[in-house]
């Protein structure tokens, strides 16, 4: 066991945990005032539910002994048998408990990401059930298939450094499917839903960016050159994506916006996630540079064209970003940077990794979409998933939680 690595991953765990409140703020600032608390809560409660589930069944289903390349067995139920001794299968220099804790944070933020597409109209009780089922049906298998020993995507050579596919693609696609099933918010297309508090969005952005150092850097699972490489590419991608979003806005609208810069940065972070520990620095510039124009197109055009109501662009930002990242990894990965990759990327003349990446991305898309569809339909047999019209008008803070975000803000009491 190495104390430097352990220190690094403990702090990284805290940083990734911090991203969930960060995301809650990022999302919370973007909704209308009457839905703020419901939106924040929708991300935040996952830090409760998914944590407990992870300890009980999630970790073992994700990283336990492989069953059919799809899922882990129950050997570590309730973290039994997970001790302070390192598990060399996953991280040879840190306590096994730490690896499990660090991974817990990913299991928390992933379902929280989905909620961005569902806010302002979904019942909280339905979201609660959805999150529990989605973790079991989609997340644990995804984590196992990609990262678990014996997982079949891992076996076929697909690589995902910090969860571009396990986290972002799976959440983004699920968000899209659920948003379509849930239907549009009242007045979609007629009324404009502008954010109620952009500084709040910005606070969230700052926390997310900060936390992403733990997310991508920590995924090296050691405080070594690879971790440094990952934070460097991560920061570069965020920077380029911020600038390229601003550029797109400047060209299309005449002026760059603050919300745009923040959105671009997050898109750049989501996009590099899969690639961070595999691609050279110059490739990170390219990856960040293309992330924003493509996401901008997905958010500003595709969404309007197909008229699905991905309220806060969980798909447009994380889903699309994740897919770009997965493909880019297949293009730019270099074994000399990280020999966990079995082959070099397309640009270095080898097609095998690229193929594996494309296939695994497609599988992820199909898997997440089908899983989400099934869960959604299943839940709808038992309960209303959507609030009724009146509650939607009134706002979900009152309707679902009987509280309001700024009850005495005006100072009239």
Give residues 241-280 in contact with another protein (rule: CB under 8 A): 249, 252-253, 255, 257, 259-260, 263
Does the protein bind a copy of itself through residue 183 (CB under 8 A)?
Answer: no
Does the protein bind a copy of itself through residue 336 (CB under 8 A)?
Answer: no
Answer yes or no: are the C-beta atoms of 165 and 326 closer than 8 Å: yes
**Which of 48, 120, 121, 38 minimizes the C-alpha distance to 405?**
38
Does the protein bind another protein through residue 305 (CB under 8 A)?
Answer: no
Question: C-beta of 107: minimal distance to a copy of itself in Å?
Answer: 11
Q: CA-CA distance, 136 to 130, in Å (whole number)?
A: 10
Cβ neighbours, 10 Å, residue 67: 14
Please give the size of the binding site for another protein, defined by CB under 8 A: 31
**Which of 391, 410, 411 minimizes the C-alpha distance to 401?**
391
The smaller minimum CB distance to a copy of itself, of residues 45 and 343, is found at 45
Maximum separation of any 2 CA atoms in the chain, in Å: 69
Does the protein bind a copy of itself through residue 15 (CB under 8 A)?
Answer: yes
Question: C-beta of 406: minimal distance to a copy of itself in Å?
Answer: 6
Phi, psi (rounded to 5 degrees) for 406: -125, 60
Q: Which two tokens stand for residue 9?
A: 């991953």
Question: C-beta of 258: minimal distance to another protein in Å?
Answer: 10
Tell me which residues in 120-179 interact with a copy of itself (CB under 8 A): 124
Phi, psi (rounded to 5 degrees) for 27: -70, -45
User: Binding residue for a copy of itself (CB under 8 A) from 47, 70, 132, 149?
Assistant: 47
Using the contact rule CB under 8 A, the part of the chain among 109-117, 152-160, 231-239, 362-370 near a copy of itself is: 231-239
Does the protein bind a copy of itself through residue 41 (CB under 8 A)?
Answer: yes
Phi, psi (rounded to 5 degrees) for 191: -85, 155
Does the protein bind another protein through residue 400 (CB under 8 A)?
Answer: no
**Which of 311, 383, 384, 367 minimizes the C-alpha distance to 174?**
367
Does the protein bind a copy of itself through residue 24 (CB under 8 A)?
Answer: yes
Query: Out of another protein, a copy of itself, none, which partner does residue 8 contact, by CB within 5 to 8 A per kind?
Result: a copy of itself
Q: CA-CA distance, 82 to 95, in Å (whole number)?
A: 9
Does the protein bind a copy of itself through residue 279 (CB under 8 A)?
Answer: no
Using the contact rule CB under 8 A, the part of the chain among 66-74, 90-98, 273-281, 400-408 near another protein is: 400-408
CA distances from 265 to 19, 64, 207, 262 (A): 15, 35, 12, 5
Query: Out of a copy of itself, another protein, none, which partner does residue 393 contact, by CB within 5 to 8 A per kind?
Result: another protein
CA distances from 41 to 13, 156, 175, 254 (A): 21, 38, 17, 36
Tell me which residues in 366-405 interact with a copy of itself (CB under 8 A): 397, 400-405
Does the protein bind a copy of itself through residue 287 (CB under 8 A)?
Answer: no
Half-sphere exposure in the Cβ direction for 269 (13 Å, CA): 23
Question: C-beta of 287: minimal distance to another protein in Å?
Answer: 20
Tell me which residues in 193-212 interact with another protein (CB under 8 A): 194-195
Answer yes or no: are the C-beta atoms of 138 and 366 closer than 8 Å: no
Q: CA-CA distance, 301 to 307, in Å (whole number)?
A: 10
Q: CA-CA distance, 160 to 66, in Å (whole number)?
A: 18
The smaller minimum CB distance to a copy of itself, of residues 202 and 297, is found at 202
Using the contact rule CB under 8 A, the part of the chain among 146-154, 162-170, 184-192, 346-354 near another protein is: 184-192
Tell me which residues in 71-130 interact with a copy of itself (CB under 8 A): 78-79, 83-84, 94-95, 97-98, 100-101, 104, 124
Using the contact rule CB under 8 A, the part of the chain among 68-76, 154-162, 222-230, 354-362 near a copy of itself is: 222-230
Q: CA-CA distance, 196 to 184, in Å (whole number)?
A: 19
Query: Out of another protein, a copy of itself, none, which partner does residue 405 contact, by CB within 5 to 8 A per kind?
Result: a copy of itself
Query: Out of another protein, a copy of itself, none, which partner does residue 263 contact, by CB within 5 to 8 A per kind?
Result: another protein
**Which of 389, 410, 398 minimizes the C-alpha distance to 188?**
389
Answer yes or no: are the C-beta atoms of 295 and 238 closer than 8 Å: no
Query: Out of a copy of itself, another protein, none, which partner does residue 304 contact, by CB within 5 to 8 A per kind?
Result: another protein
Torsion, CA 172, CA 114, CA 263, CA 222, rounded to 10: -80
Interface ranges with another protein (CB under 8 A)? 187, 190-192, 194-195, 249, 252-253, 255, 257, 259-260, 263, 296, 299-301, 304, 313, 393-394, 398, 402-404, 407, 410-413
């Amino acid at each position: 066991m190495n104390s430097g690595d352990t220190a690094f991953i403990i702090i990284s765990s805290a940083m990734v945990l911090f991203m969930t409140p960060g995301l809650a703020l990022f999302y919370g600032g973007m909704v209308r005032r009457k839905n703020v608390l419901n939106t924040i809560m929708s991300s935040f409660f996952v830090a409760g539910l998914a944590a407990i589930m992870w300890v009980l069944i999630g970790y073992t289903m994700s990283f336990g002994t492989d069953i059919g390349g799809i899922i882990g067995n129950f050997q570590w139920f309730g973290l039994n048998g997970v001790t302070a001794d390192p598990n060399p299968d996953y991280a040879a220099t840190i306590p096994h408990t730490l690896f499990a804790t660090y991974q817990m944070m990913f299991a928390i933020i992933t379902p929280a990401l989905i909620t961005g597409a569902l806010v302002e109209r979904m019942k909280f009780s339905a979201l609660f059930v959805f999150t529990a089922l989605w973790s079991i049906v989609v997340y644990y298998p995804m984590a196992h298939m990609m990262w678990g020993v014996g997982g079949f995507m891992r076996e076929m050579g697909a690589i995902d450094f910090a969860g571009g596919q396990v986290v972002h693609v799976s959440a983004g696609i699920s968000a899209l499917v659920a948003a379509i099933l849930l239907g549009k918010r009242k007045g979609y297309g007629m009324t404009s839903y502008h954010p109620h508090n952009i500084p709040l969005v910005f606070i969230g952005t700052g926390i997310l960016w900060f936390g992403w150092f733990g997310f991508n850097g920590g995924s090296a699972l050691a405080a070594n050159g690879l971790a440094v490489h990952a934070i460097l590419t991560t920061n570069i991608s965020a920077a380029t994506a911020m600038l390229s979003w601003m550029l797109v806005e400047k060209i299309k609208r005449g002026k760059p916006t603050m919300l745009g810069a923040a959105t671009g940065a997050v898109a750049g972070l989501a996009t590099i996630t899969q690639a961070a520990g595999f691609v050279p620095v110059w490739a990170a510039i390219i990856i960040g540079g293309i992330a924003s124009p493509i996401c901008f197109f997905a958010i500003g055009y595709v969404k309007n064209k197909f008229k699905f109501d991905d309220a806060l662009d969980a798909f447009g930002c994380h889903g699309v970003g994740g897919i770009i990242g997965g493909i880019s990894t297949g293009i730019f990965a270099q074994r000399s940077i990280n020999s966990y990759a079995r082959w070099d990327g397309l640009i270095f003349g080898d097609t095998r990794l690229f193929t594996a990446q494309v296939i695994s991305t497609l599988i992820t898309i199909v898997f997440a979409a089908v899983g989400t569809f099934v869960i959604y339909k299943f839940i709808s047999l038992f309960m209303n998933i959507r609030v009724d019209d009146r509650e939607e008008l009134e706002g979900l803070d009152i309707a679902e939680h009987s509280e309001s975000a700024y009850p005495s803000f005006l100072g009239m009491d």
